[in-house]
Amino acid sequence: MPRPRTLLVAVAALTVLAAGCTTDRPTGAAGQRSGAGASPQPPAAGTGDQSKFFVQADYDAQLAMRSQTPEGPADRPWEQAIAPEPVDTAEHRKDGPYRLCFSNAAVNNPWRQVGWKTMQAEVALHEEISGLTALDAEGKDDKQISDIAELQAKGCDVLIISPNTTATLTPAVTAACAEVPVIVFDRGVETDCPVTFIKPIGGYAFGADAAEFLVAKVPAGGKILALRISPGVDVLETRWSAAKVAFDASELEVVGVEFTDGDAAKAKSVVSDYIQRHGRIDGVWMDSGATSVAVAEAFEDAGLPVPPMTGEDQQDFLRKWKDDGLTAMAPTYPTYQWRTPIIAALKILKGEEVPKVWNLPQPKITAENLDTYLQPSMPPLHYALCGCEDMPGFPEGWGGTKG
Amino acid sequence: MRRTLPILAVLAVLLAAIAIANPFFLEPAGFLGFVRRAAPLVILAAGQYFVIVSGEFDLSVGSLVTVEVVVAARLIDGNEGATWPVLLLLVVLGLLVGLANGLVTTLLRVPSFIATLGMMLVLSGAVFLWTGGAPRGALSEGFRMFGRQTGWAVLILAVTALVVVLLTRADFGRTLVATGDNERAAALSGVRVNRVRILAFVLSGASAVVAGILLGGFAGVSAQVGQGLEFQAITAVVLGGVVLGGGRGSVVAAMAGALTLEALFTLLNLYGISGALEFTVQGVIIIAAVAAGAVRLPFAHPRRSKGDAHAAS
């Protein structure tokens, strides 16, 4: 009976093939971990090699910006800029109403969802904007390249781009610059052709803020576990590379650098494994907050106090921090930066100056100002620094409840 | 029992290796922690066993787990009072998905590999559409206690194991194996083949419900919670010596296979070997287990021709 055999072999082959296909991004993880994890002779500080994304000049500039006073209204940080170098925009001046276009990398995580809602609310504030045409690239470079080309044919007065990746999108952005004034925000591109590039201070400041907190709070010799989402993304690589610099200069021992894919169950298992393997972990550094509650729970479930740890400005973590009295801090990558491109677009179309690189302030949440950012009426995955509290439709539009 | 011995021996060796690397494993808290972590996979493997031994596959369980967790978080939204109604709804949802898989496979005669692959795509697409990749809401403490508290998770695993063993000892279990072994012979001797197979898919759906409740409880809501679980479950079942194509294998061995797979992952992790290797390990296990079954049996049954021996394996 040859048929069952063929079927069996085919099915087994397909199963193996499909199992391989579900592997999302392990290759980098494997390489990174062999240098950082429990290899026979780990490097002295356990932090592995420096990231190839690390640029010393950018690192120095970002760390310096943390102590500089931003220009602009203090109660509207999304309009503030640190060390702005204004550029003239008189050539783009025109009469309204204005049609804005937006090529969005994705809306596939809570950070981008909060930001996207905030941007739409900002558009609604301005009568002189006749409409915002937005295309979602769904996290795909090739789709965003064709989105950008498509939007150029829609008669936009300004094209706003939030690039999916840096290098691949650069040619598409360069081509668009020749047709229409371009504003880039969030992630950067490798060209200075956009009229303005809007971003918070950046990943180095984020990573350094979190690492410096642990260096201050954890006694010398303490064991640090670093949790990262995934390798190879510039805004995340810079966070870790700045933390590496801080940990290398400290007396702390980094016992592991692990990737969690932003998955709570994976993060919790990784932390549980490290607690078992090392007996105790004295501090947890994180490059984003998505899994920070799961990390705290891993210590609780092991019957241990939660050590000093870092997170981000998501409400679930802030609530856990407050309720359980954690020793914690949260650097932020504020979602209020989604308001700024709309404001910048109007400035450009009215011929007003804008900064060439618009560095937004990047506040950090500490035990002292935690209560300011904790919003019990907002959903668990809402980001506190949306700058949307004064906007029409808040809080319902962001999933919150009144009261 | 004889079929269960090899996998139990492998499991014992792996557990001993873990204990050597990490003495905490020998304490009750350490071992029960391991059992809790393995519980969802063991339960999924039990569900998958019913489907595989009847000669079919269920590739939809991973995405069904994700759907269960995401739906639960959205509907409960942190509200304790909603816990039990939502749990009931989840059970109904899981059984319906299993029923749909069974009906499509038996009545529409779509091969289960395709039917459940389609269901997997439908479910994961629906989750993405509904959540935009970022699930909303929160699970209540009452919901999370099942997966978070070791005692509950171990109890649920024990009850599930008891139920599936009783099921396989009952008439249903025997007709199921007969169906997988030789569908026509089973039908001629009065087995309602389609009904038996549909029930197998429903049981697989039910196992995904329980696994989803445990996994959601363990770490909270996540849109990736079920990713790759269907392949882990199939690997576990194959590792337990259950034959792809149906007709041979024991459910205890399948569950031991799941424990073995989880022990293997734990061991790799203890030695600091990347989690990325998990997929490679699974791939090697599937190929090796199927190949071992094909190679060994001609010697075990020398009187049969090679083709027959394989078909009967």
- Structure token digits, residue B226: 């079920």
Show the DSSP H helices in A249-301 as ranges: 264-278, 292-301
**DSSP code, position A135:** E
H or E segment to which residue A381 belongs: none
Q: Does B6 touch chain A (CB under 8 A)?
A: no
Position B310 in a domain: no
pLDDT band at B119; cut points 50, 70, 90? very high
Position B245 in a domain: yes
* CA–CA gap between residue B4 and residue B8 (Å, rounded): 6
Q: Which of these, A92, A99, A134, A143, lies nearest to A116 by C-alpha position?
A: A134
Q: Does B118 touch chain A (CB under 8 A)?
A: no
3-state class (DSSP) for residue A160: strand
* CA–CA gap between residue B273 and residue B271 (Å, rounded): 6
| Residue with the two structure tokens 């709309």 | A342
- The chain-wide mean pLDDT, for chain B, equals 87
Torsion, CA A119, CA A125, CA A126, CA A131, rounded to 10: 50
Return phi, psi of residue A254, to 5°.
-85, 110
| Residue with the two structure tokens 């090796």 | B288
The residue ranking higher by pLDDT, A170 or B29, is A170
Please determine, for residue A20, whether its predicted confidence score (pLDDT) is greater than 80.
no
Q: Are B313 and A8 in contact (CB under 8 A)?
A: no
Instruction: State the count of interchain CB pairs (< 8 A) between A and B.
Output: 136
* CA–CA gap between residue B198 and residue B194 (Å, rounded): 6
Question: CATH code at B219?
Answer: 1.10.3470
3-state class (DSSP) for residue A82: strand
From A38, A108, A267, residue closest to B134, measured CB to CB:
A108
- Spatial neighbors of B91 by CB under 8 A, at least 6 apart, are B206, B209
pLDDT in tens, B215-252: 999 988 887 888 889 999 999 999 998 988 888 899 99
CA angle (A327 as vertex; A323, A332 as ends), nearest 5: 90
Task: Look at A113 and B30 and tell me if their CB atoms are within 8 Å.
Answer: no
pLDDT in the model for residue A403: 64
Position B184 in a domain: yes
pLDDT in tens, B187-219: 999 889 999 999 999 999 999 999 999 999 998
pLDDT band at B309; cut points 50, 70, 90? very low
pLDDT in the model for residue A387: 94
Residues in chain B: 313
Q: Does A138 touch chain B (CB under 8 A)?
A: no
CA angle (A25 as vertex; A24, A28 as ends), nearest 5: 165
Q: Which of residues 33-52 of B touch A (CB under 8 A)?
A: 33, 37
List chain B residues with CB under 8 Å of A254. none
pLDDT band at B150; cut points 50, 70, 90? confident
* CA–CA gap between residue A364 and residue A362 (Å, rounded): 7
- The chain-wide mean pLDDT, for chain A, equals 87
Q: Are A77 and A361 in contact (CB under 8 A)?
A: yes
Average pLDDT of the residues in A157-183: 93
Residues in chain A: 403
Answer positive or negative: Cα dihedral of A389, A319, B222, B93: negative
- First vs last C-alpha separation in chain A: 72
**DSSP code, position A92:** G
**Amino acid, res. B228:** G
The distance of B64 to chain A (nearest Cα, Å) reads: 16
pLDDT in tens, A208-242: 999 999 999 999 999 999 999 887 777 889 999 99
H or E segment to which residue B106 belongs: helix B83-106
Please determine, for residue A13, whether its predicted confidence score (pLDDT) is greater than 80.
no
From A34, A264, A297, residue closest to B222, measured CB to CB:
A264
pLDDT in the model for residue B30: 82
3-state class (DSSP) for residue A365: strand
Q: Does B288 touch chain A (CB under 8 A)?
A: no
Average pLDDT of the residues in A50-63: 91
**Strand order across the A158-162 sheet:** A129-136, A98-104, A158-162, A182-185, A196-200, A357-360
Write the DSSP string, A155-197. T-SEEEEE-SSHHHHHHHHHHHHTTS-EEEESS--S-S-SSEE
- Spatial neighbors of A182 by CB under 8 A, at least 6 apart, are A158, A159, A160, A161, A173, A176, A193, A194, A195
Q: Does B108 touch chain A (CB under 8 A)?
A: no
**Amino acid, res. B196:** V
Ranges of each domain in chain A: 28-58+203-331, 66-202+334-375
Q: Are B43 and B160 in contact (CB under 8 A)?
A: yes
Cis ω before A219 (30° cut-off from 0):
no
Please determine, for residue B297, whether its predicted confidence score (pLDDT) is greater than 60.
no
Task: Look at B134 and A113 and tell me if their CB atoms are within 8 Å.
Answer: yes
pLDDT in tens, B18-76: 998 888 788 887 888 889 989 999 999 999 999 999 999 999 999 999 999 999 998 99
H or E segment to which residue A314 belongs: none
* CA–CA gap between residue A331 and residue A26 (Å, rounded): 27
Task: Look at B235 and A19 and tell me if their CB atoms are within 8 Å.
Answer: yes
Task: Look at B78 and A380 and tell me if their CB atoms are within 8 Å.
Answer: yes
pLDDT in tens, A291-347: 999 999 999 988 899 999 999 999 999 999 999 999 999 999 999 999 999 999 999
pLDDT in the model for residue B296: 56
**CATH of span A28-58+203-331:** 3.40.50.2300
- Spatial neighbors of A57 by CB under 8 A, at least 6 apart, are none
* Domain carrying residue B277: 5-293
* CA–CA gap between residue A288 and residue A383 (Å, rounded): 12
* CA–CA gap between residue B125 and residue A67 (Å, rounded): 46
- A28-58+203-331 against A66-202+334-375: fold identical: yes
Pairing label, strands A129-136, A98-104: parallel
The distance of B146 to chain A (nearest Cα, Å) reads: 13
Please determine, for residue B310, whether its predicted confidence score (pLDDT) is greater than 50.
no
Average pLDDT of the residues in A39-65: 78
Task: Look at B286 and A15 and tell me if their CB atoms are within 8 Å.
Answer: yes
Q: Which residues of B48-75 are buried (b: 16+ CB within 10 A; e: fewer)?
A: bbbbbbbbbbbbbbbbbbbbbbbbbbbb
**Number of domains comprising chain B:** 1
Position B284 in a domain: yes
Q: Are A151 and A135 in contact (CB under 8 A)?
A: yes
Please determine, for residue A65, whether its predicted confidence score (pLDDT) is greater than 50.
yes
**Amino acid, res. B218:** F
The residue ranking higher by pLDDT, B155 or A47, is B155
Structural domain A66-202+334-375, CATH architecture? 3-Layer(aba) Sandwich (3.40)
Show the DSSP H helices in A40-88 as ranges: 56-65
3-state class (DSSP) for residue B215: helix
Average pLDDT of the residues in B243-263: 92
* CA–CA gap between residue A395 and residue A389 (Å, rounded): 7
Please determine, for residue A42, whether its predicted confidence score (pLDDT) is greater than 70.
no
What are the beta bridge partners of residue A355? A86
**Amino acid, res. A102:** F
Position B98 in a domain: yes
From B24, B33, B307, residue closest to A5, measured CB to CB:
B307
H or E segment to which residue A395 belongs: none
Work out the burial of residue A37: count CB atoms within 10 Å of its CB; fewer than 13 is exposed, 13-18 middle, 19 or more buried: buried
Q: For residue B60, how far is the Cα from the chain centroid?
A: 11
Pairing label, strands A309-310, A328-331: parallel
Interface test with A, best of B184, B222, B270 (most A CBs within 10 A): B222
What's the ipTM?
A: 0.72
Cβ atoms < 10 Å from Cβ of A82: 22
* CA–CA gap between residue A162 and residue A148 (Å, rounded): 11
Interface test with B, best of A5, A8, A15 (most B CBs within 10 A): A15
pLDDT band at A17; cut points 50, 70, 90? very low
pLDDT band at A29; cut points 50, 70, 90? very low
pLDDT band at A134; cut points 50, 70, 90? very high
pLDDT band at A57; cut points 50, 70, 90? very high
pLDDT in the model for residue B133: 63
From residue A124, alpha-carbon distances to A127, A136, A196, A335, B13 in Å are: 7, 19, 22, 17, 65
What's the pTM value of the predicted model, to 2 decimals? 0.78
